[in-house]
Amino acid sequence: MKKNTILLASLLAGLLLCDTASGQSLPTPYESGNGNQTTTYDDCIAWYRKLDKTYPQARLDSIGLTDIGRPLHLVILDTDEAFNPEAARKSGKNIVFILNGIHPGEPEGIDASMLLARNLLSNPAQKNWLRNTVVLIVPVFNVDGSLRRNSHSRANQNGPEAYGFRGNSRNLDLNRDFAKLDSKNARSLVNALRHWDPDLFLDTHTTNGADYQHVMTLIASQKDKMHPAVGHWMNRQFTPALYTAMAQKGYPMCPYVNTEHELPDSGLIGFLETPRYSTGYTALFHTAGYVLETHMLKAYEPRVKATLELLSLCVSKISAEGHILRQLRKEAKIASAKADWFALNWQVDRSQADTIDFQGFTPAYKTSQVHGENRLYYDRQQPWVRKLHYHNHYKSSDSVVKPMSYLIPQAWTEVIDRLDWNRIPYRRLTQDSTVTAEFYFITDYQSTRRPYEGHYLHYNIQTRVEKRTQTFRKGDVLVSTGTENDRFVVEMLEPRGVDSYFSWGFFDGVLQQKEYFSAYVFEDTAAELLRNDEDLRDRFEAWKSGQPTRPTPAAQLDWIYRNSVYYEGTAQMYPVAILR
């Protein structure tokens, strides 16, 4: 009997060990709730610490600081237990990067990723996906906003009971910060993204907007902006397979509901994610990217389940097909280094459209109890399914020929810092050098009337090019092209780029003229200039005759000044030299 008792105790101990190893001892905070609660930041990180201690294939790392002073964490799931990108690449593994909590009021991905991590380590079938894939998870990106927990800032959202705030501690929307990198959060994240260079990037969100039947909507990196090698594979193979599989699991998807007009039945337009956005940024480095957008009006539990299903699908499919994507990314990087030109801006190509299957609700109007006028509502008792047109083709509206290099004066430290944070290689001049190069002059631009994400963003930028001879100093920065980073370098350093460093105001100092004249003194100088310079006099008369009304005396003096040797030659001059 004693022998049987010892045997039974050993069996029970073995079962407990199996239970621990299977992860059943690691219920997530979400699972401990009522289905309408999301984990707090502190509980989330504490849970991942337990995961780290339970499984040798999991590691919780700190990858830098956030604006609120807390660390930004990265969870690494690697069955080889190497936990570094060099080893992953050497062993031929795929790299999947999952970002959560960029908007902490949209927390489905935070909870779903915890479930995913445990499943990948405890479920034998899912653990098999990790044989050739490393999965990286940022538990909460906007740590600052997550700590500002409330129940009301998402006024249109159906749960959870409490959640984080959209802005970070500097009131920045971190999904507008990937190009400008104002926040420590984004700098830390970008450093990790460039270090790991993921093949697939997934960003979890909750969407606002119209009411419809779909629980999950999806933004794929805009196919026409991607290099064709990656864009065609996503558009023709990977993305359709996700739609098919999600429908089979009971979550039929549609593209992100970016409507042509107010109502979904007017048709949809593909979302254009420029480099300020997460997937717009990762596209610059040829990473396949998706934004997962669950619908705000669905209950929290099905939103978490749909997110978990889609994350799991992506990991399983990359496990099977990642070798294809890795090869296509390699081709895209080589092509980028050899490319002659790059697009800077894009517009919808309305000459062609696709069709999508959409499951909506019938819109109707009734009298508002607030203002007494007609108000829109969606009648959930009248669902409909129909095909809608989908404008998801974009064409370049502005492009530039790629130069051999850009030469940046060291004075522009904010720009050089951003090259460093993005791990862009450059070299510094070892001595003063006089070069003849092209320089842009900013001839026109518009700016937002109010600050946008901490800047007066410039747009509709117009330039002219002038060849000049200029002296650069020892320590100035030379950024050469001909590398896989070229698309990023061009879009950031060409001033007309929609999210260029000029667009975000990092070169605003050149837009202010520093010298001028006193009219009563310059009167005599202007008269002498006209007497002694026949060409100037002829151009002055031609300018006056071309004006709709007689120019004022001040305008005439200003014209002469701007066309004389007295006018400072660097006013409105973009200081980066273009070397061809």
pLDDT tens string 401-418: 999 999 999 999 999 999
Q: What is the CA radius of gyration of the chain?
A: 29
Indicate whether 244 and 315 sit together in one domain: yes
Q: Look at residues 568, 543, 566 and name the one whose alpha carbon lies nearest to residue 556.
A: 543
Indicate the pLDDT class of residue 24, thresholds 50, 70 and 90: low
**DSSP line for 293-339:** EEETTS-HHHHHHHHHHHHHHHHHHHHHHHHHHHHHHHHHHHHHHH-
Q: Which range of residues forms the domain containing residue 496?
A: 402-513+572-579
**DSSP line for 411-467:** T-HHHHHHHHHTT---EE-SS-EEEEEEEEEEEEEEE-SS-BTTB--EEEEEEEEEE
In 10 A of CB 276, how many CB atoms? 21
Q: Look at residues 291, 294, 290 and name the one whose alpha carbon lies nearest to residue 306.
A: 294
Q: Which residues lie below 8 Å from residue 261, measured CB to CB, with a gap of 6+?
A: none
- CA gap 213, 295 in Å, rounded: 9
Token pair, residue 158, equals 């159906």
- CA gap 498, 445 in Å, rounded: 12
Which amino acid does the sequence have at 471? T
- CA gap 183, 186 in Å, rounded: 5
318, 133 Cβ separation under 8 angstroms: yes
Report DSSP state, residue 148.
S
Q: Give the distance between the most distant pair of CA atoms in the chain.
A: 123
Indicate the pLDDT class of residue 12, thresholds 50, 70 and 90: very low
Helix residue ranges per DSSP H, 494-567 = 519-532, 534-545, 553-562
Indicate whether 388 and 410 sit together in one domain: no
DSSP reduced 3-state for 58: strand
Helix residue ranges per DSSP H, 22-170 = 41-54, 85-90, 108-122, 124-127, 143-147
pLDDT, mean over the chain: 95
In a 13 Å sphere around the CA of 18, the CA atoms on its Cβ side amount to: 7
479, 537 Cβ separation under 8 angstroms: no
Q: What are phi and psi of 184, to 5 degrees?
A: -65, -35
188, 421 Cβ separation under 8 angstroms: no
Q: Look at residues 357, 109, 112, 354 and name the one whose alpha carbon lies nearest to residue 252.
A: 357
pLDDT for the residue 530: 97
- CA gap 240, 234 in Å, rounded: 8
Indicate whether 382 and 434 sit together in one domain: no
Indicate whether 426 and 537 sit together in one domain: no
- CA gap 30, 110 in Å, rounded: 10
- CA gap 327, 95 in Å, rounded: 13
Q: What is the mean pLDDT of residues 487-508?
A: 98
Indicate whether 36 and 175 sit together in one domain: yes
What CATH number is given to the structural domain containing 140?
A: 3.40.630.10
Indicate whether 388 and 469 sit together in one domain: no
Range of weakest confidence among 4-8, 305-309, 419-423 = 4-8
76, 120 Cβ separation under 8 angstroms: no
Inform me whether the pLDDT recorded for 495 exceeds 50: yes
- CA gap 495, 501 in Å, rounded: 7
Indicate whether 81 and 185 sit together in one domain: yes
The sign of the torsion formed by the CA atoms of 234, 235, 241, 243 equals positive
Inform me whether the pLDDT recorded for 3 exceeds 50: no
pLDDT for the residue 25: 72
Which amino acid does the sequence have at 166? R
Strands 433-447 and 458-472: antiparallel
Last residue of a domain, one of 309, 336, 363: 336
Indicate whether 135 and 208 sit together in one domain: yes
pTM over 0.85? The answer is yes
Indicate the pLDDT class of residue 569, thresholds 50, 70 and 90: confident
- The domain tally of the chain equals 4
Inform me whether the pLDDT recorded for 113 exceeds 70: yes
458 within some domain: yes
Q: What share of the chain in percent tops pLDDT 70?
A: 96
Indicate the pLDDT class of residue 22, thresholds 50, 70 and 90: very low
Q: What are phi and psi of 543, to 5 degrees?
A: -65, -45
In 10 A of CB 139, how many CB atoms? 26
Token pair, residue 202, equals 């997934």
- CA gap 179, 492 in Å, rounded: 8
348 within some domain: no
Token pair, residue 47, equals 């849970």
Partners of residue 363 on adjacent β-strands: 378
* 517-547 tens-digit pLDDT: 999 999 999 999 999 999 999 999 999 999 9
Range of weakest confidence among 24-33, 77-86, 113-122, 223-232 = 24-33
341 within some domain: no
Q: What letters, b where the CB count within 10 A reaches 16 and e where it falls short, cover 52-70? A: bebbebbbbeebbebbbeb
Strands 477-480 and 427-428: antiparallel
Partners of residue 449 on adjacent β-strands: none
Q: What letters, b where the CB count within 10 A reaches 16 and e where it falls short, cover 396-407? A: eeeebebbebbb
347 within some domain: no
Token pair, residue 100, equals 């959560």
Q: What are phi and psi of 175, to 5 degrees?
A: -90, 25
22 within some domain: yes
Which amino acid does the sequence have at 194? R
Q: What is the mean pLDDT of residues 274-291?
A: 98
10 within some domain: yes
234 within some domain: yes
Q: How many residues does the chain have?
A: 580
Indicate whether 134 and 70 sit together in one domain: yes
Indicate whether 451 and 526 sit together in one domain: no
Inform me whether the pLDDT recorded for 243 exceeds 70: yes
95 within some domain: yes
Q: What share of the chain in percent tops pLDDT 90?
A: 95
Token pair, residue 360, equals 């909506």
pLDDT for the residue 473: 98
484: left (phi over 0), alpha (psi -120 to 50) or beta: alpha
Q: What are phi and psi of 266, to 5 degrees?
A: -80, -10
Last residue of a domain, one of 290, 306, 336: 336
* 445-468 tens-digit pLDDT: 999 999 999 999 999 999 999 999
Indicate whether 39 and 106 sit together in one domain: yes
Last residue of a domain, one of 374, 395, 416: 395
Indicate whether 459 and 371 sit together in one domain: no
Q: What is the mean pLDDT of residues 423-449?
A: 98
Report DSSP state, residue 57.
T
Inform me whether the pLDDT recorded for 383 exceeds 90: yes
Q: What is the mean pLDDT of residues 44-59?
A: 98
